[in-house]
Structures are given as C-alpha cells and as structure tokens.
Amino acid sequence: MSIKGKAFIAGIYEHPGRHLPDRTLPQIHADVGLGALADAGLSTSDVDAYYSAGDAPGFGVLSMIDYLGLECRYLNDTETGGSSYLLHAQHAATAIAAGHIDVALITLAGKPLTGGAGPGGSGRVGGAPEAPFESQWGMSVPGGYALAAQRHMHEFGTTSEQLAEIKVAASTHAQHNPQALLQDLVTVEEVIESPMISDPLHRLDCCVITDGGGAMVIVSEAVANSLERHSIPILGTGTYVKSSQSGRIDLTHTGAVKSGPLAFTEAGITPSDIDYVSIYDSFTITVLITLEDLGFCERGDGGRFVSDGNLQAPHGALPFNTDGGGLCNNHPANRGGMTKVIEAVRQLRGEANTPVQVGDCELALAHGTGGSLATRSASSTMILGRSL
Amino acid sequence: MRLPARAAQSNSENAPFFEGATAGRLILPKCSICDFVIWFPREICPECSSQEVGWFEASGRGTIYSCTTTRRIPGSWGKVTPFVLAYVELEEGPRVMTNIVECDPESVSIGDSVEAVFEEALNRDGEPGPPLLRFRPTQS
C-alpha cells in the first residue's frame, strides 16, 4: 500500500520565539499545536491522533494528550532525535491511508537555552549498550560531525571553503526572514575566521541553539477537501536507520542513501524533478553529505555542487532552506526536522518570504537526520507536492 | 595534558573486554559461528545474529580512520583542549572511537599508525575502575 496522495499537510506553525524563559515546555507544545490547528482551520476536538518524541515531558505523549485535552485513538512517540517529526508524519500518513485516523497533530518543543526539561530522550541514552564504548572520549555534538567532515575531506578533497558556502547560502536567505535568529549575511571568509570548534568545523559551520518549537497537522483527503485552506499532499516518504555498521562505520554517507530512493520511488519522481529542498542542517557537513546521498550530485562531488550557487534562492538550481534553516533561523529544541517540513509547505503554498519564494514551486523535498553522523542515525525523507 | 578518565560501567555482556583492559590487554569478542570480530563488545553477532561469542587477544595496533582536534567544548573536557577525538581502525577490522594521546594534537592525521595504551580511570565513587582504551602514535 502506498501513502501517495492519501494524506495531506493541512496546517503548520513555527513558534516565533527563539528565547522563551517564561514559557514552560508543555506551554510551547500547546502554542505550536494550537497554532498549526488554527492554520488548518481545525480545533483540538478534531484531533484523533497525537505524535511527539523525547521532547514531550513526563510520560511523553500520554502526559501531553492529557495536558492538551485531546481525545486520541492513535499515538506514537518514536524517538530518532531531530528526524523524529518526519517519521511521525510518515506514520500518520500511513495510519490515515489505512483508515485508522483523520486528523493527526505532531508537535515539537524545547528550551535548550533557558532550561526546563531538556529535549533529547536522555533517560533512554543512559542505559545504551554502546555507552561504555562511546561516552568516555569527549565527543561533543560538533566533534562527532567533525569526524565525518574530516573523513569526507580526506577521501574527496572537500574544503572548508566549500562547507562555508552552505552557511553563506543559508544566511542569504535568512536576511529576508524577520524571525530568524541570525539575519546578517556572512561571507566565506567570515565562516573560516570564526572560532574553530572541532577541526574542521568552525562556529559558523554549526547550527544555532534556540528555544521554541513547531507543529504540523496531517489529515485525510476527506478532511482536506472540507477545509478552506489548500492542503499539501504527501507524495512519498522513506526512512532508514544507518547503524554503526557492525563496528565498520563509513563516515561519508548517511541513511539518506536509502530513505531518498524509497521516497522518490513512492512519489514516482527523480531528484531532478524537485524545485525546492529543506535539508537537515545541524552542521554544514550534514547538508553536503545529504545532498550527495539523495542523488542531487555525485558522491564526493558535494563540495563543488554547493559552491556553484546552486543552493541560493530563488534562482539557484536547487534552492534550499529558504527560511535560513538551522544554520541561521531556528533549530528549536536542538531538533531541525519539524522546521524543514514547515518551510517546504510554505514554498509549495507560495508563502515563503517573497525574495526567496521559488517560482512555480510544484515539488519539494524535506529531509531530517537524527542521532549522530559519528555513530548511528535515522534519516527520513518526505516528498510533497503543490497538488496531486 | 591528561584527559578526563571516567571509567566505563561494565556489565555481564562486556565484562571480558574490561577484565582484559584491567590486565593491560585488548580482548575483543568474536562470533563463534561466523568468526566476525564484533564491535562494540556484546554477546550477539551483528552479522549473523548468533549469541555464541568467544573472546581473543587483539594486537593493539591500528591506523587512524578519522580524527578531529577539539578546541572548544563545555565542561571538564574544556580544560584539556586541544585534544584529539578519533576513530582507530584496528588490524582486526573494527573502527573504535577513542582519543589519541601522547602526541602533538596539531600533527595527528588520518592514516597514522597507532598502538593501544590503557589509561587509569576512576568510577564515580573515586575508586579505580577498568582502564580506558586509548591510542598513541606507534613508537618505532
């Protein structure tokens, strides 16, 4: 059974806040959930399924369903870090296609800047079987991704200047987003001259840290047809977990090598058909490797690809992350998957910020990467259309 | 500068590895059915799913598969920067996350030959625990 054309994104909402000392974590879930429902023209009484990940506090989705006053017959708290929300959307679309539910609400919230319950499912990580062999070495999150970047540079000759081009493109877009945390245009030189965190990743190769959140509402065709707002059909989805490969890890690719083809096949299209991409951008290297993995350029050729202005909206060959992405706009709860879907929906609705709106945007791809490129990660790809 | 050394919590599945480390020996698990050298240590073969696992002493020699010199990091590690985080590919096959020590962090590169060293580590209660498997440039 394919989910193609069976489920629709009817509502989206990105929290406008980036620093939220006076909102509790449940309040932020509520802010974004109510925002996405209002965007769709629906209310909490319409919701019959709820999804969140390790960022749902307490008893997870059970606590949040109670807090929000929902009545749900379907729930899921799959935890794969930043890609979780794309998996939730895939699972919701599958449940809708099977006729189990009609309206699914997915929320993300977190306060990494101002405390409260930190997102990340840290309770689960504590007993991990790999922990005795991975947690003694001072691996920061940037440090782990730096290992991937170093190996990519070693094998393919990728340079720091090429990685910096990704940040430059994101900053070009963020200039036009009044809600972006960082709105200043930066140059390749400014990226290279920013403090080195873990070789070869500079501070400006890293995403921002923000409080906040986002939400989306996914509905059946019958519900979509009843709404005034134009809903965005989900055309294809794919998910793949790249393990630590039995201890023979290859750091130069991600699970996108499998999640991408699954999504493209289900949608019945190829990478060259895509008008806009939201690519997970925890770090510049995450974008570069993912573009290769999804087939937008040859393996090892990502450095050249990102250097030719291809990523810049509106006229580049493959405009990406037009909200400024995690690198400049927002990386709420240290998780970028939700905002990737949200900006793809804006592009297909024609509601992106005007200077970065891709003309005649008919097909978009959103991609999430959760976990760590240095160990194990879950990739999830979603292809969306302006219409069926 | 000496790196932070918090001992790992061993359990019944991985105890032979840590008992070996305590004796200064690199003891690795190997599948008794398909001979695959397993990493990270556990009593299941990720290649053939057998739970029959034996243990053997490895050479302790390897090469650097990837490495990064970390210069900014919060907490206790921030006091020992720059330090080298790495994956070492052991002669026996596995790629093992570790630190490269007894070296100039500015001169460590992918492909360098390294050898195992076991560094003292403490449990949370301050008592000695199993030593940590780190690597240093091969002493020629």
From B40, B47, B132, residue closest to A130, measured CB to CB:
B40
- Spatial neighbors of A66 by CB under 8 A, at least 6 apart, are none
Residue-wise pLDDT for A251-287, tens only, equals: 999 999 999 999 999 999 999 999 999 999 999 999 9
Residue-wise pLDDT for B11-48, tens only, equals: 999 999 999 999 999 999 999 999 999 999 999 999 99
Strand, helix or coil for residue B8: coil
Nearest to B86 by CA among A249, A289, A3, A235: A249
Query: Which residues of chain B have a CB within 8 Å of the CB of A198?
Result: 68-73, 85
Q: What is the share, in percent, of chain B residues with pLDDT greater than 70?
A: 99
Give A146→chain B minimum CA distance, Å: 6
Nearest to A290 by CA among A149, A164, A187: A149
Report the C-alpha gap between A105 and A50 in whole angstroms.
Answer: 5
Confirm if A340 and A380 have CB atoms less than 8 A apart: no
Confirm if A328 and A171 have CB atoms less than 8 A apart: yes
CA distances from residue B123 to A214, A386, B15 in whole angstroms, order as listed? 41, 57, 15
Q: Do A130 and B110 touch (CB under 8 A)?
A: no
Q: What is the ipTM of this complex?
A: 0.97
Query: Which residues of chain A have a CB within 8 Å of the CB of B10?
Result: 132
pLDDT for position B61: 98
pLDDT for position A125: 52
Query: Which residues of chain A have a CB within 8 Å of the CB of B93?
Result: 247-248
Q: Do A138 and B71 touch (CB under 8 A)?
A: no
Give B19→chain A minimum CA distance, Å: 14
CA distances from residue A54 to A27, A240, B140 in whole angstroms, order as listed? 16, 19, 49
Instruction: State the distance between the two ends of chain A, measured CA to CA, in whole angstroms.
Output: 17
Residue A261: asked if its preceding bond is cis (omega within 30°), the reply is no
Q: Indicate if the pLDDT at residue A122 is higher than 90.
A: no
Residue-wise pLDDT for B93-134, tens only, equals: 999 999 999 999 999 999 999 999 999 999 999 999 999 999
Residue-wise pLDDT for A38-84, tens only, equals: 999 999 999 999 999 989 988 899 999 999 999 999 999 999 999 99
Q: What is the share, in percent, of chain A residues with pLDDT greater than 70?
A: 97
pLDDT for position A308: 83
Q: Do B3 and A147 touch (CB under 8 A)?
A: no
Q: DSSP letter at A358?
A: P
pLDDT for position A63: 94
Q: Can you tell me the mean pLDDT for A282-307? A: 98
* Cβ neighbours, 10 Å, residue A363: 19
* Cβ neighbours, 10 Å, residue B54: 13
Confidence class for position A234, pLDDT limits 50, 70, 90: very high
Report the C-alpha gap between A320 and A307 in whole angstroms.
Answer: 13
- Both structure tokens of B74: 């919060």
Q: Can you tell me the mean pLDDT for A141-153? A: 98
Residue A363, beta-bridge partner list:
A385
Report the C-alpha gap between A82 and A239 in whole angstroms.
Answer: 13
Give B139→chain A minimum CA distance, Å: 22
Q: Do B68 and A150 touch (CB under 8 A)?
A: yes
